[in-house]
Structure 1
């Protein structure tokens, strides 16, 4: 069974989308790295019409305020590196490069146990969707790399 180039390209678009989302996160972290995060957290809580002194908003404000500027910079660099990896993978899949097919299979398979654990420990529709999408991608890439042979 020969795989469809459209299927591999669909996986490439998914990977590029993940890269774009990660790029937006990296830019956001970079922008906020030089700002007072506690003040921003209070402004956000107030904007959402929540009481900053109540229990959960105060926990959020405290947690955000404890993040150091160097931690934000490291997170931004990590997100930028992840972006680069996803864009390279998307490019390779779009151009049907075999090594990126292997990379897509292996990198997706690595996440499966963690996604399964997340779904079991914090069940939500989102965790189910993420697991199912990744499972479909991993299975599809497996069949691209190891096509079924017709029996004689």
Structure 2
């Protein structure tokens, strides 16, 4: 069990991301074999949003292109993502070295994507997301290096 508050926070955040992916996948799966476009129009009408305005039109165009096979594929990918995040959270909670490696590598993979997104959409939120991710990766790398130096023969 984790005594380190930073590691515990990261573990809990990974579990939260995994649970969110599971919840989203269940919601998406419930839409299979339903008229999603009719549901979207009903929701837009309920909230008095003009379906011809820019963002609702984009949403409706994406929904029109979405097929049941696509929904199932997205659900399977969400389940794989959830399994990865929940496994990582458990491993970090138990202070497993493999989980620290997983956190460092999986976090580092997103950095170039977040940087390119930040260049196109420079917002405070994107800066915060990038900063938190870089901090988590750096923290994991420091932990892994300390483990290695503690193990190294003198």
The corresponding residue for 1:29 is 28
Aligned equivalents of 2:129, 2:119: Cα separation in 1: 13
Q: Note the 1:1-152 alignment, pairs <5 A.
A: 5-147=4-146
TM-score normalized by the length of structure 1: 0.88
Q: State the superposition RMSD in angstroms.
A: 1.7
Q: TM-score scaled to structure 2, two decimals?
A: 0.87
C-alpha separation in 1, matches of 2:83 and 2:51? 38
**Alpha carbons of structure 1 residues 55 and 128: separation in structure 2 relative to 1, 3 Å:** closer
Structure 2: tracts of 5 or more residues without a match: 150-154
Quote how far apart the aligned CAs of 1:25 are. Answer: 1.1
- Structure 1 stretches of 4+ with a deviation exceeding 6 A read none
Measured at CA, do residues 11 and 56 of structure 1 come closer, stay the same or move farther in structure 2, by a change above 3 Å?
closer
Between 124-133 and 22-31, the greater mean CA deviation after superposition: 124-133
Number of residue-to-residue matches in the alignment: 146
Distance in structure 1 (CA, Å) of the matches to 2:52 and 2:106: 43
